[in-house]
Structure 1
Amino acid sequence: MPTPPKTIEDLMARCNAIAGLTLGQLASSLEQAVPKNLLKDKGWVGQLIEHALGATGGSQAVVDFADLGIELKTLPINQQGKPLESTYVCVAPLTGVTGLEWQNSWVCEKLRHILWLPVLAERQIPLAERVIGNAFLWQPNSAQQQALQQDWEELMELISLGGIADIRGATGKYLQLRPKAANSKALTDAIGSQGQPIRTLPRGFYLKTNFTAAILQQQFSLSVE
Structure 2
Amino acid sequence: MHSSPKDIEQLLQRAHHIAGWQLGEIAAELGIAAPHDLRHHKGWVGQLLEHWLGASAGSRPEPDFPHLGVELKTVPIDANYKPIESTYISVCPLTGLRGLRWQDSAVCHKLSHVLWIPVQGDKSIPVAQRHVGMPLLWQPTADEQQQLQRDWEELIEQVALGKVESITAHQGELLQLRPKAANRKALTEAIGPDGCKINTLPRGFYLRTSFTKLLFQRNFS
User: TM-score, normalised on structure 1?
Assistant: 0.96
Structure 2 residue identity aligned to 1:23: L
CA shift at 1:126, angstroms?
1.4
1:92 lines up with 2:92 in the alignment: yes
1:178 lines up with 2:178 in the alignment: yes
2:40, 2:158 → 1: CA distance?
Answer: 32
CA shift at 1:147, angstroms?
0.9
Q: Any idea what SS the aligned residue of 1:132 has?
A: coil
1:62, 1:143 → 2: CA distance?
Answer: 23
Ranges in structure 2 where 5+ consecutive residues have no aligned partner: none
2:68, 2:46 → 1: CA distance?
Answer: 18
1:55, 1:105 → 2: CA distance?
Answer: 20
Matched with 1:83 is 83
2:65, 2:165 → 1: CA distance?
Answer: 35
How do 1:37-52 and structure 2 match up within 5 A?
Answer: 37-52=37-52
Matched with 1:2 is 2
1:16, 1:61 → 2: CA distance?
Answer: 26
Matched with 2:67 is 67
Matched with 1:167 is 167
CA shift at 1:24, angstroms?
0.9
Q: Any idea what SS the aligned residue of 1:74 has?
A: strand
Structure 1 residue identity aligned to 2:202: P
Structure 2 residue identity aligned to 1:186: A
Structure 1 residue identity aligned to 2:149: Q
CA shift at 1:38, angstroms?
1.1
Q: Any idea what SS the aligned residue of 1:177 has?
A: strand
Matched with 2:205 is 205
2:102, 2:63 → 1: CA distance?
Answer: 17
How do 1:85-124 and structure 2 match up within 5 A?
Answer: 85-124=85-124
Q: CA RMSD in A?
A: 0.9
Q: Any idea what SS the aligned residue of 2:185 has?
A: coil
Matched with 2:26 is 26
Q: Percent identity?
A: 55
Residues 24-66 of structure 1 deviation map (CA, whole Å, 9 limit, x = unaligned): 1111111111112111111100000000011111102321111
Say how many residue pairs are matched. 221
CA shift at 1:198, angstroms?
0.4
1:126, 1:175 → 2: CA distance?
Answer: 31
1:31, 1:41 → 2: CA distance?
Answer: 17
CA shift at 1:184, angstroms?
1.6
Residues 81-112 of structure 1 deviation map (CA, whole Å, 9 limit, x = unaligned): 11010000000000011221111111101100
- Structure 1's consecutive aligned runs of 4 or more residues displaced over 6 angstroms after TM superposition are none
122-131 vs 198-207, which deviates more? 122-131
CA shift at 1:194, angstroms?
1.3
Ranges in structure 1 where 5+ consecutive residues have no aligned partner: none
